[in-house]
Amino acid sequence: MKSELMEILLVTVPGLEDLLRAEAVEKGFKKPSIVTGGVLIKGKWPDVWRANLQLRGASRILVRIGSFRIAHLSKLEGMARHFPWEEHIARGTSLRVDVTSHKSKIYHQKAAAERFEKALVSAIDADIDPEADLVLKIRFFKDVCTISVDSSGDGLHIRGTKQALNKAPLRETLAALILRQAGFKGKEPVVDPMCGSGTLVLEAAEIASRLDAGRSRNFAFQLLPSFDADAFQELKDRTKKAESEFQFYGFDRDAGAVERAISNAERADVDDVCSFTRQTVSDLTPPDGPKGLVIVNPPYGIRIGDQKKLAPLYQKLGHVLKTRFAGWRVAILTNTGKLAEATELPFNPDPVGFSHGGIKVKLYLTDVLEERVS
């Protein structure tokens, strides 16, 4: 294993880089710096393993293994063939190549990928497979070719425990960052009135239980010669489930969604602190015990007509929260200010914006709701 530090890119949703940086600091990664679409750290392979295992807000972890300047496609295969591949990838490994180009003279991405594939076959007898778990990310930018290994494989939102999904589910990585933006640190109860398959509730429960995000899945870095199975198992064994003193509640009008959420909680080993119930927003009441966070990812209004149809739902939600949830904070994710305004909740200014499933959304937050004076 090489002694010098590598550049490690923690990829996230553009607009939420500061939240991932805060998590990286919290998890003990040194000097993380924000770049567009991610956070950059330096480290060795054990740091790569730990980032994949523990970071909840990262979409994937890319490891930069080298770069070179090039401006002519005709020279690319030769340059790629002489790259020190065997320092990073074992001979005969199955892999695929993903190429992007921006502001470079080498702009034909398919042709560049073909040159790299030929070079890899020649240099290390690589098995080029479009379905391979191990991916090389080749980026051309201003005539510099940067080579990275995608150490994650499947996106890190795939925790390995959630098999039952609702339609258009919120990704776990995004849920973790939304909870962080809402000020959740695992020390309060959470209520989701429209929980779907339970993503926000489950993520909150796992955070409170101090469980590693990737404890139940495999990663692409396990296919690399730098991987040490015993050291990685030792890293996983360091984290033990903590007993949460709080409960986490999900409600949904869809019985199927509730059943899926219950199954997901059992697989994630947080069913002891989670409660999922079939219930409409109109019947929502605060659970007994300490007050905490109400967090909701309601339906969005993509078209103007949709917004008009959804406005009564948002109005009902706002009324229930204002009249019954004094002492609680509220976080609502939606794509239009008009729907947020329909709740008549006292949202803080400047909601954070980002893209969710190709839709531009914002997270609207309140401070602690005050008791209403009739």
What domains appear along the chain, each with residue ranges and CATH number?
6-150 (3.30.2130.30), 172-211+242-365 (3.40.50.150)
Tell me the H-state helices in 209-251. 229-237
The pTM (predicted TM-score) of the whole model is 0.94
Coil, strand or helix: which one is 366? strand
Nearest-angstrom CA–CA distance, 228 and 216: 18
Nearest-angstrom CA–CA distance, 358 and 13: 11
**Residue labelled with tokens 């948002």:** 314
How far apart, in Å, do the first and last CA atoms of the chain sit? Answer: 68
Nearest-angstrom CA–CA distance, 130 and 132: 6
Which residues, listed in sequence order, are joined to residue 6 by a DSSP beta bridge?
Answer: 43
Coil, strand or helix: which one is 65? strand
Say what the pLDDT of residue 1 is: 43
Nearest-angstrom CA–CA distance, 68 and 12: 25
Tell me the H-state helices in the chain. 17-26, 45-54, 76-81, 109-124, 172-181, 199-208, 229-237, 255-267, 304-324, 337-342
Q: State the DSSP H helix or E strand holding residue 291, giving kind and residue range, or none if neither.
A: none
Nearest-angstrom CA–CA distance, 63 and 19: 21
83 close to 37: Cβ distance less than 8 angstroms: no
- Which structure tokens are listed for 343? 């709740």
Question: What pLDDT, in 10s, does the model give residues 140-181?
Answer: 999 999 999 999 999 999 998 877 565 667 999 999 999 999
The whole-number mean pLDDT for each consecutive block of 10 residues of the chain, a chain of 374 residues, reads 81 97 97 97 98 98 97 96 96 97 96 97 97 97 97 96 71 98 98 97 98 97 97 96 97 96 96 98 97 96 81 97 98 95 97 93 97 65
Say what the pLDDT of residue 167 is: 62
**Residue labelled with tokens 């939420």:** 16
Nearest-angstrom CA–CA distance, 300 and 279: 20
